Amino acid sequence: MANELIEFVLVSVALLAVGIYGLSVKRNAIRMLFAIEIIVNAANLNLIAFARFMPEAHSGGQTFALFSIAIAAAEVAVGLSLIIVAYRLYKNIDIADFRSLKG
């Protein structure tokens, strides 16, 4: 291996930090979804990195990452449709406006 495990893990930490920043600062619902995607991808990168460097895991790490990617796709579909519903109710995507469930 040309690269070491620690480098991949540090990139993953940086992505996690960027994602946390986005989640805590942004009020735009779609941007918060971007931040969630970035965090999920940082987690997947960690999974694959550790799977590569621990040969006793065989293909388990990669399989788990594949499941994780598929579940993330389902989550995005539901999240986007929730944003569409909220936009239809409030005519806005600012989460500070989403105050009541009734609309």
Partner 1 sequence: MADVLFLALSVLTIGAAIAALELRSLIYGSIALMGTLGGIAGFFILLDSPFVAMFQIAVYVGSIAVLILFTVMLVKRELIFKKIEDPKRKFAGIGLMLITMVAVGAIILDSGVKTITTDSAPVDFRDIGVDFLTYYWPALIAMALILAGSVIGALVLARREDTVENGQRTD
**36 binds partner 1 per the rule CB under 8 A:** no
Instruction: Mention every residue, 6+ apart, whose C-beta is less than 8 A from residue 13.
Output: 42
**Smallest separation (angstroms) from partner 1 to the CB of 41:** 5
Residues in the chain: 103
Q: How far is the CB of 39 from partner 1 (least distance, A)?
A: 10
What residues from 39 to 98 belong to the interface with partner 1 (CB under 8 A)?
Answer: 41, 44-45, 48-49, 51-55, 58-60, 62-63, 65-67, 69-78, 80-85, 87, 91-94, 96
Token pair for 78: 């539901």
Q: How many residues belong to the site for partner 1 (CB under 8 A)?
A: 73
Distance CA 86, CA 94 (A): 10
Q: How far is the CB of 94 from partner 1 (least distance, A)?
A: 5
| Cα-to-chain-centroid distance, residue 13 | 13
